[in-house]
Amino acid sequence: MEAKVFASSQPILSLRGISKYFGGVHALEDVDFDVYPQEIVALVGDNGAGKSTLVKIIAGVHRPTKGHIFFQGQPVEIHSPHDAQALGIEIVYQELALIETRDVPANFFLGREPVKGRLGIFVDRRKMVEDTVRTLRELGIELPYLRSPVRYLSGGQRQALAIGRVMPWGGKIIIMDEPTAALGVKESRRVLDLILRLKEKGCSVIVISHNMRHVFNVADRIVVLRGGRKVGDKKKSETTPDEIVKLIVGADML
């Protein structure tokens, strides 16, 4: 049924038989996962279900214990975050991955600071500041002093910064791990809008959330993980929040 719906397009990203063990912990067990072009996939599941682990495998943070990754049909190995970035995969981590002691531009370009000059080692600070200001302005993110350490920002401001900084890189697949966790109502709405706009621009988005309203608001498809296994993969139009919640907690619980 589903296969027919998406038969017209190839998945941009496919994971096949992915398992990830941390010592004795089986964080993921034989998971298949697809993302299609211009699709918003919601990844849901209880705490510890393996959602973050799955997206970190896509982002090159973890190597899968078993399984294969295909990008546009080609098998790929993603050894590091840089490999993922090179494929056009951008991620907003649940942990935000900000450096508290550094200012906004330094965090904005963390790990890929623009360089100038022939040596290629000197950071182009002016470009960093200008691009940061422009992007934040475009996204409507308000931050106080740009040059203060990030530790002076509020939780929501930090999350906004973490989301904002992946935007300018032209990623094809944007992953957001609980992007609205620390946000107020208005700010959450903005992020959902942003996700929809990204789709319009041609991106695919993987979004992890515990908020069913948010999920049903934006997602085209919902993938459910439980105890490291994939237990559901539903088009939004063919499911209900109730069914998803049942899948999340497991039928045996009801």
Partner 1 sequence: MRYVEPGLVLRFARNQLAALLVILGGMVLLLSLLTSTFLTANNIFNVLRAFSWIAIASFGQSIVIIGGGIDLSAGSNMAFAGIITAMLLLAGYSVVFSILVGLLITLGIGLLNGLMVSKTKLPPFIATLGTMSIVRGFCYGMTQGWPVRNLPRSFMFLGQTDIWRVPLPAIIMIGLAVFCAILLEKTKLGYHVYAVGGNEYAASLVGINTGRVKTIAFTLSGLFAGIGGLLMTARLGVAAPTAAQGYELDIIAAAVIGGISLTGGEGSVWGALIGAAIMQILRNALVLMGFPAYWQPAAIGAVIIGAVMIDMYRKRKV
Q: What residues line the site for ligand ATP (CB under 6 A)?
A: 22, 25, 27, 45, 47-53, 94
The residue among 51, 90, 38 whose CA lies nearest residue 196 is 38
137 torsion bin: left (phi>0), alpha (psi -120 to 50), beta (else): alpha
User: Footprint of partner 1 on residues 103-122 (CB under 8 A)?
Assistant: 106, 110-113, 115, 121-122
The listed partner (ligand ATP, partner 1, Mg ion, none) that binds 110, CB under 5 to 8 Å by sort, is partner 1
Neighbours of 197 (CB within 10 A): 11
85 torsion bin: left (phi>0), alpha (psi -120 to 50), beta (else): alpha
The listed partner (partner 1, Mg ion, ligand ATP, none) that binds 53, CB under 5 to 8 Å by sort, is ligand ATP
**Rounded Cα gap, residues 169 and 81, in angstroms:** 14
Q: Does residue 98 interact with partner 1 by CB under 8 A?
A: yes
Q: What are phi and psi of 97, to 5 degrees?
A: 55, 50
> Whole-number minimum distance, CB 21 to partner 1, in Å?
20
Stretch that binds partner 1, among 20-28, 41-49, 91-99, 205-213 (CB under 8 A): 91-99
Neighbours of 213 (CB within 10 A): 10
Q: Does residue 231 interact with partner 1 by CB under 8 A?
A: no
> Whole-number minimum distance, CB 164 to partner 1, in Å?
13
Q: Does residue 164 interact with partner 1 by CB under 8 A?
A: no
> Whole-number minimum distance, CB 134 to partner 1, in Å?
10
233 torsion bin: left (phi>0), alpha (psi -120 to 50), beta (else): beta
DSSP 8-state secondary structure symbol assigned to residue 172: S
Q: Does residue 94 interact with Mg ion by CB under 5 A?
A: yes
> Whole-number minimum distance, CB 233 to ligand ATP, in Å?
16
Q: Which is nearer to Mg ion, 11 or 179 (CB)?
A: 179
Listed in sequence order, the residues at least 6 apart from 56 whose beta carbon sits closer than 8 Å to its beta carbon are 62, 91
Site residues for partner 1 per CB under 8 A: 60-61, 80-82, 85, 93, 95-102, 106, 110-113, 115, 121-123, 125, 133, 136-137, 142-149
